[in-house]
Amino acid sequence: MVDQRKILEWHRKGVKTIVTHMDPHPDEIVAILLARSKPGLQYFPGADTAPIETWSKSDERLQRPPDALAQEGCLLIGIGGSPFDEHATEHGEGKPGCASTLMAKLLGFDKVDQLRKFLKHIERNDNGQWGQFDLATAVMQMYDEGRPTDSALTARHQQRCVGIALHLFSALVNRHLRFLSEGAAAFAAAQKFKVERRGDRRVINIAVGVSDAESFPRYARSERGNSADIVIVKSPSTGCISILTVDQKFDLTPLARALRMRELYLRNQHRGTGWEELSCVGVHPAVPEWYLHDRRGLVLNKSRVRPDAPPTQIPLEDVVDMTEWVVGGWLPEFRDQSCVRAQCCFWEKCSVYALGLPRCRDYRRELAA
């Protein structure tokens, strides 16, 4: 039996070549990406620049024990009886799991919920449970597309296909790795608080951050964060603000109205603007800053489909206050007799004007008359 620990000791001295089998499955691809990650490089220095070779399982080089190949700088993935080969070989028994789960266990990624779900999916793929439109299915079929009949061209075809597979799956793997690094860092610096909603007294968790990390909202909504029901994030690079929810029970239409009215006020264009028309789904032509996606519970200042949307002029703290008022159910419909219409001072001293209470709506109608 080969001593697997000895193999890992040799790998710590440096990886010169990564070797996997022909037409590598997604589990081998993901295992390679994990080995090339920052935590992986602590175990496999040089793996991030080492070339990838695909060997036939009948290759005579695999007759040598895996520890001998490890001494020469070969990191075997899913082949040759290495610590990351689940198959039984003449050098050792089979192992439970697949190449990616074996690699993840070494690096401690198997204890991370988000990665564990992804790895289980990869393992199911490795066991033949592929969906017709699954990415794994597309990768495996890719090897057959344009496969050369000339054996001299096989290596080039393999390199091209493996390169595409690495690029595709790196988008998924890196997304999870950024969750653990950038997402965690952004959440640590974020503001976290709770709001008790009037009526049903539901406690709503809110996280507010200033970050360009795409993984921050996901981290805040996860159990590693504060299981946020609502995430408010401002991009420091663009100045744009997004309000994201995970519960469609939140009706953000009043918030979209308030934000749009506030935006118009800052441009001195609020007089005469109809309150109801500002409730529209999508974008109001007069206020391109704010997009309401009512079915998903999102109010976006900018998005992938609207990259040219102008950044809001509303300060982040005001957006937070307005969100808190809306989701907390603190928008009473009442008439305050202390309001002197002739001296209405709008937002500077009256924080409810932009929220469209009846007295404020009446005053706007008078201004428009």
pLDDT tens track for 15-64: 999 999 999 999 999 999 999 999 999 999 999 999 999 999 889 999 99
Task: Give the pLDDT band (50/70/90) at residue 264.
Answer: confident
- Specify the pLDDT at position 311: 94
**Residue 254, helix vs strand vs coil:** helix
Range scoring the smallest mean pLDDT among 149-153, 183-187, 245-249, 251-255: 245-249
- Among 225, 180, 232, smallest CA distance to 211 is for 232
Mean pLDDT of the chain: 86
**pTM across the whole model:** 0.73
Q: What average pLDDT score do residues 247-270 get?
A: 82
**For residue 346, is pLDDT > 60?**
no
Question: Which residues are within 8 A (CB) of 206 and not within 5 positions of it... i.e. 6 or more apart?
Answer: 192, 193, 194, 195, 228, 229, 230, 231, 232, 320, 323, 324, 327
- Specify the pLDDT at position 335: 40
**For residue 125, is pLDDT > 60?**
yes
Domains and CATH numbers, the chain: 4-178 (no CATH), 189-332 (3.10.310)
Q: Strands 191-196, 203-210: parallel, antiparallel or unpaired by DSSP?
A: antiparallel
- CA R_g for the chain: 28
Half-sphere exposure of 34 (CA within 13 A, CB side): 25
Q: Please measure the distance between the N-terminal and C-terminal CA atoms of the chain and give it in whole angstroms.
A: 91
- Specify the pLDDT at position 306: 81
Between 130 and 243, the higher pLDDT residue: 243
Burial label, 79 (beta-carbon count in 10 A; 0-12, 13-18, 19+): buried
- Specify the pLDDT at position 342: 42
Q: What average pLDDT score do residues 276-299 get?
A: 88
- Specify the pLDDT at position 304: 76
- Specify the pLDDT at position 269: 77
- Specify the pLDDT at position 2: 72
Rounded CA-CA distance 65/73 in Å is: 13
Q: What average pLDDT score do residues 187-193 get?
A: 96
- Specify the pLDDT at position 254: 84
In 25-146, alpha helices (H): 26-35, 38-41, 66-71, 99-107, 113-126, 135-142
- Specify the pLDDT at position 366: 65
Task: Give the pLDDT band (50/70/90) at residue 351.
Answer: low
**For residue 241, is pLDDT > 80?**
yes
Between 45 and 150, the higher pLDDT residue: 45
**For residue 184, is pLDDT > 70?**
yes
- Specify the pLDDT at position 27: 95
- Among 57, 49, 50, 48, smallest CA distance to 78 is for 57
